[in-house]
Amino acid sequence: MTTSNIAQSKRAIQQNRPSPGAEYRPLDVFVGNWSLEGQQYDGPFGPDAKIVGVESYEWLTGGFFLVHRLGGRLDTAEIACIEIIGFDESSQNYPRYTFYSNGKTNEWQSQQTDAGWTIIGDSVMADTTFKIRCTTLFSDSGNEMTSKWEYSSDGSNWKAFWDVRAVKAA
């Protein structure tokens, strides 16, 4: 194979490679490194505790999946997760697949709203399944995000269990 043939093959591969459409761009608001702090409230997810940590969001090569990493502390306990976020054309939402340092996994559905993002899903704690929702709002030109995590046993009555504020690193 000649150098010319190799160059032609590379061009053909690149031309046939799909690229993400405009539906992926709303996720760009998350991209970057963030410092976070917040509060866990006493309830089924644990006692009152301070939350501190860092998180990062970056596009996986190709631009179809956003990789989110979180590391920090919940009171004195170390916490961490990795999450893969994509776009599902059939449902027009952004599924999130989360893998936690305690061995648990979860699948969430997220949607962009006029004010920010909403994440919904279920979580099992002590053999009880709770509905979970998180409302994330951006401010300061996208350099600050606040997230309120809530749970419900019936899907109607919600109670906060985490309030978190994250600031994007300069």
Q: Where are the domains of the chain?
A: 30-168
Report the Cα 48 to chain-centroid distance in Å: 23
**pLDDT tens, 70-102?**
999 999 999 999 999 999 999 999 999 999 999
**pLDDT tens, 97-109?**
999 999 999 999 9
pLDDT of the residue at 78:
97
Both tokens of residue 23?
């539906």
pLDDT band for 3, please (50, 70, 90 cuts). Answer: low
- CATH of region 30-168, choose from 2.40.128.20, 3.40.50.150, 3.40.50.300, 3.20.20.105: 2.40.128.20
Please, what is the end-to-end C-alpha distance for the chain in angstroms?
48
Mean pLDDT value across residues 12-40: 90
Backbone φ and ψ for 8, nearest 5 degrees, come out as -65, -40
Q: What is the mean pLDDT of the chain?
A: 93
> How many Å apart are CA 54 and CA 70, to the nearest integer?
6
Both tokens of residue 145?
């995000």
Q: What is the 3-state secondary structure (H, E, C) of 16-78?
A: HCCCCCHHHHHHHHHCEEEEEEEEECCECCECCEEEEEEEEEEECCCCCCEEEEEEEEECCEE
Cβ(168)–Cβ(143) under 8 Å? yes
> How many Å apart are CA 140 and CA 161, to the nearest integer?
25
84: nearest Cα among 60, 63, 108, 67: 67
Taken in order 23, 150, 148, 104, the sign of the CA dihedral is: negative
| pTM assigned to the model | 0.88
